[in-house]
Amino acid sequence: MNGLVIEKPLPTADGDSQAFWEGLRSGRLLLQHCADCGHVQYYQQRICRQCQSDNLQLKPASGKGTIHSYSVVYRAPGPAFKDDVPYAVLLVDLEEGPRMVSSLVGKDFDALDFDAPLTLKIIQINDEVSLPCFELAINELHSS
C-alpha cells in the first residue's frame, strides 16, 4: 500500500449545523421549522430559505419518509467506499416535507422502489458522528 490513510469523509459541524449533529448523537433527526411562515427545512442554516426569517425552531422528525429516487452503487466512488459496495443511496422525501440524501441500511435492493415507505435508522459511526440512514418499512407496506 502507499501508506495513505483512506478514511470516509465524515461531517464536521459548523455554526449552522452544530445542533443538527448533536441531535443525531442523541438519537433525533432535527428539522428546522420556521415560526413565521411554517416552512420546514432539512439543510440547516441561520435563516428560513422561504422567508429569510431567523425565527427557526428545531423539532425532531417523525422518521417516516418515502423514496423519491435511488441508485445502487456498484463501483465505489473512491477507496474509502470499496468495502461498502454495493450499497444504495436514496433521495428521501420526509413526512414533514423536506427531501434529503441518505443511504439504505442493508442490501435488500430488490425491494427498493419509487415511493416505497422508509423508516429512519440512526447509525452511530464513532463518538462524534451518527448518520441518519433509512430502512425499508416493509411491514407497513404490506399492511397498507
Largest CA-CA distance found in the chain, in angstroms, rounded? 55
Residue choice 46, 59, 99, 107 for contact with another protein (CB under 8 A)? 99
Residue choice 19, 58, 73, 116 for contact with another protein (CB under 8 A)? 73
Q: How far is CA 3 from the centre of its chain?
A: 32
Instruction: Specify the residue, 35 or 125, whose C-beta has the smaller distance to another protein.
Output: 125
Site for another protein in 11-70 (CB under 8 A): 11-14, 17, 21, 42-43, 68-70
Under rule CB under 8 A, residue 110 binds another protein? no
Return the residue matching grid coordinates 473512491: 78
Alpha carbon distances (Å) from 39 to 10, 16, 24, 96, 102: 28, 17, 21, 10, 21
Report which DSSP code applies to 138: H
Residues that bind another protein (CB under 8 A): 2, 4, 6, 8-14, 17, 21, 42-43, 68-81, 84, 87, 89, 91, 98-103, 114, 125, 129, 131, 133
